[in-house]
A and B are shown apart, each in its own frame.
Chain A
Amino acid sequence: MSTINLDRGLIAGADGGTTTAPAKAPLNYLNCESTVASWLLTLDHKRIGLLYLVGITAMFILGGTFASLIRFELLTPKGDVLSGDSYNKTFTAHGVVMIFLFLIPSIPAVLGNFLLPIMIGTKDVAFPRLNLMSFYLYVGGGIFLSLALLFGGVDTGWTFYTPLSSSYANGNVMAAALGVFIIGFSSILTGLNFIVTIHRMRAPGMTWFRMPLFVWAMYATSLVQVLGTPVVAITVSLLGFERILGVGIFDPRLGGDPILFQHMFWFYSHPAVYIMIIPSLGVASELVTTFSRKGIFGYEIIACSSIAIAIFGFIVWAHHMFTSGISPYAAMVFSFLTFSVAIPSGIKVFSWLATMFKGSISYASPMMFFFGFIGLFTIGGMTGLFLSTLGTDIHLHDTYFVVAHFHYIMVGGAIMGYMGGMHYWWPKITGKMYSELWSKVSAALIFVGFNFTFFPQFFLGYLGMPRRYHEYPEELQVLNVLSTVGASVLALGYILPLLYLPGSLFFGAKAPKNPWGASTLEWTECESPPHPHNFESNPPIPDHVYDYSQLSKEAVRVSH
């Protein structure tokens, strides 16, 4: 980015939302420069967020395609669409793409990048160049990983368990591991950038307990990214040594211990679950207070519960290994600790409910996604307790019950939150309003389709259908057909926003500065879309971040 035109900058200082001269749109981060290089080499956190949006949307479509293949195969009890081997590669590809390339970067890299500096009243993240580098590490690792999955494929599952991955799997295990390693650094650098930004870049007056809860969620997420990801990096490196040099760190034939791999893998990969869900919890907190027009219930405790989830997240990893032969005493401790994660999660859910209580609730589409989110997240969280109970876990381990449980968290929780966040901030990001009708249809389709897809899987798992098989006994077909039909509805729900959100760029009404009457800085102090430097000068910081007494909603003006 180079020089920004001074004249247009001054016009933006006037009320950008109501400028009457349409010929000269106010200066914003989208129209300040338009060359390809100004996008691909941008240091502006808002533009980098948009670059990520393009990347993760592509990956979501890719991962969704693999999911469709899986559900299509499972329509019938016989393996008639995919061979066993192709099926293994398909669910591995689905897991790897969705987790490493979509869910982990989704909210932090897109919404976090765009919003975090604005929400704390600063011009940019602490290290803009590092931010751009994170994006290109993501792109590089993503291309690498996608090629490894599409050409040759990997059949180990996204967990890369040894000795399967080290000694027996054919496929591109090494290339995939290297891809994960590279993307891991992208994630680490984003987390590092956010931590330093929150510590050192807050505007004067922006104390810790005046920060929006989304920022708190980003802080907790960043802690997990920074503390967890290096461990998976060294774990896949050791897997690489093992595979290339045949050294046997995890190979029992050479004195190695395969369980050690599982410990090291889950030390990252369990906290990684919280990298995916905490940002959605943060989005939910923003949505519920804005659309209830009521200060959030228990601000401090919600803020601290994000940090608590991040901390608890690090001490529960062995609940993935209850049937792997770990010590029963260790299993008891990990079971107890896993139960305790329900406390901060419950605090959040109850606080959201208390926020809505006697609030002035409006049913705008972001709130519809929030309603879906809170229901699905609660079911996902509660079924987690079945799995953390040692006795029931023996029965349910590695069945479709587990698949249903984590999809309720990852899809019902994390993606629902992401969708809610995208719909909430879309007017701020693009300056356009989308179709309220179609977005509500989408929210409804996603909620209904999701439940039809995954609720039957709880029963399938309880009846003993193991995950990762492409065939199943005939008596389980009814539930599987339900699930596949639900997945088709769900797919429709996800395809709709891919049409009406980009469509809004061309046909949407112009977004006012604060269409929702929200109280955080990006709505009260920034135009839609924001100025390249976010603020003209240091924004005034209110004492209470969610104070609606002085705010009113701006009507959407239909410009054509």
Chain B
Amino acid sequence: MSATNTHKDTTQGHDTHGHHPALAHHFVSLEQQHEANILGMWVFLVTEVLFFGGMFTAYAVYRFKFNTMFQEASNQLDITLGCLNTVVLILSSLTMAMAVRSAQMGKAKPILGYLAATAVLGFAFLGVKYFEWKHDFEVHLIPRADFCWDYAKERRVEADHHEKGKPFVTKVLGKFIGHHEEHAPPTTDRILADKKNPESQQARMFFVLYFAMTGVHAIHMLVGFGLIAAVAFWASKGTYGPDYYTPVEVLGLYWHFVDIVWIFLFPLLYLLGAHLGAGH
């Protein structure tokens, strides 16, 4: 295999005209190559919709089955951080769109800048997710042997009480840098008793789906970072211009898709129980 596209196309007449270095031998024109690549990514995104679709189906089934407890469990998530992340991700889609635009206009430096901004916003999203997951771990909401719904509810009531009356900014900052008091973890007896409670089982199902869906979403973002790095590398070599910007556009499609998945996850997971909340 020639890893590069230096394959000499001796049988085809159009070689003599000297074609674009990015044109693979089996395409007639850059236009055909562009259209094929874009369609390829769209078809891939269709498969992604069905991949996530399996989890959305499971979510729909259990939300219908355990409606009340899904709302209660959703209310344990942090809407403020969820909103923040939604804004961060939408901004990253904006910068990605700008990167594609820059590539189309052949501006090498802005491509790199916008790609970097996209990556930074993406990392910010995962950073916020890290703090959310860390909190879930601390209050025993990870659906494994030590899951304790009873304990998590109690911690939530304490936290609400503790934060009452504080200004919004302090509350938000407190989620990242706030000093946490030590809490005694739930005893084994309490965890075992909690396991027998159907409410706990149902809330646990919500968290299984929450971690599966946000986890798979996060994996897609990690893949996105790899793709951004690759495209940025080629962009820095001046590969992209008005004639040829296909990879940037393909990357853009992928990134927007990952963004849109979040746009569905956010209301289903965070806003579902918002009406029950005491306001974080």
- How many residues on the B side are at the interface (Cβ–Cβ under 8 A)? 46
- How many residues on the A side are at the interface (Cβ–Cβ under 8 A)? 57
Closest chain A CB from B83 CB (angstroms): 28
Bound form: Cα–Cα A192–B45 in Å? 10
Contact B205 A192 (CB under 8 A): no
Q: CB of A247 within 8 A of chain B?
A: yes
Closest chain B CB from A415 CB (angstroms): 27
Partner of A196, one of B9, B39, B62, B66: B39
Partner of A124, one of B13, B26, B48, B58: B26
The proximity string for B residues 138-165 relative to A, scoring 1 for CB distances below 8 Å and 0 otherwise, is 0000011100000000000000000000
Closest chain B CB from A124 CB (angstroms): 4
Q: CB of B51 within 8 A of chain A?
A: yes
Contact A234 B36 (CB under 8 A): no
Contact A226 B46 (CB under 8 A): yes
At the interface, is chain A mostly helix, strand, loop or mixed?
helix
Contact B11 A533 (CB under 8 A): yes
Q: CB of B50 within 8 A of chain A?
A: yes
B2: A residues at CB distance < 8 A: 1-2, 43
Q: CB of B7 within 8 A of chain A?
A: yes
B66 (CB) vs chain A CBs: closest residue: A255
Q: CB of B54 within 8 A of chain A?
A: yes
B212: A residues at CB distance < 8 A: 238, 241
A6 (CB) vs chain B CBs: closest residue: B10
A129: B residues at CB distance < 8 A: 1
Contact A123 B26 (CB under 8 A): yes
Contact B40 A196 (CB under 8 A): yes
Q: CB of A537 within 8 A of chain B?
A: yes
Contact A4 B204 (CB under 8 A): no
Residues of chain A in range 114-140 having any CB-CB distance to chain B below 8 Å = 122-130, 132
Residues of chain B in range 1-51 having any CB-CB distance to chain A below 8 Å = 1-2, 7-13, 24-26, 32, 35-36, 39-40, 43-44, 46-48, 50-51
Q: CB of B105 within 8 A of chain A?
A: no
The proximity string for A residues 209-239 relative to B, scoring 1 for CB distances below 8 Å and 0 otherwise, is 0000000000000000011111101110110
Q: CB of B85 within 8 A of chain A?
A: no
Q: Which 10 A-B pairs have the closest CB atoms?
A: A234-B54, A41-B1, A230-B51, A124-B26, A230-B50, A255-B201, A200-B36, A123-B26, A126-B36, A247-B208
List residues of chain A with CB under 8 Å of any chain B CB: 1-4, 6, 9, 37, 41-43, 122-130, 132, 188, 192-193, 195-197, 199-201, 226-231, 233-235, 237-238, 241, 245-249, 254-257, 260, 263-264, 531, 533, 536-537
Residue contacts A-B, CB under 8 angstroms, 21 given: A2-B8, A43-B1, A43-B2, A123-B26, A125-B26, A192-B47, A195-B43, A200-B39, A201-B36, A228-B50, A230-B48, A230-B51, A234-B52, A241-B212, A248-B143, A248-B201, A248-B208, A254-B201, A257-B62, A264-B58, A533-B11
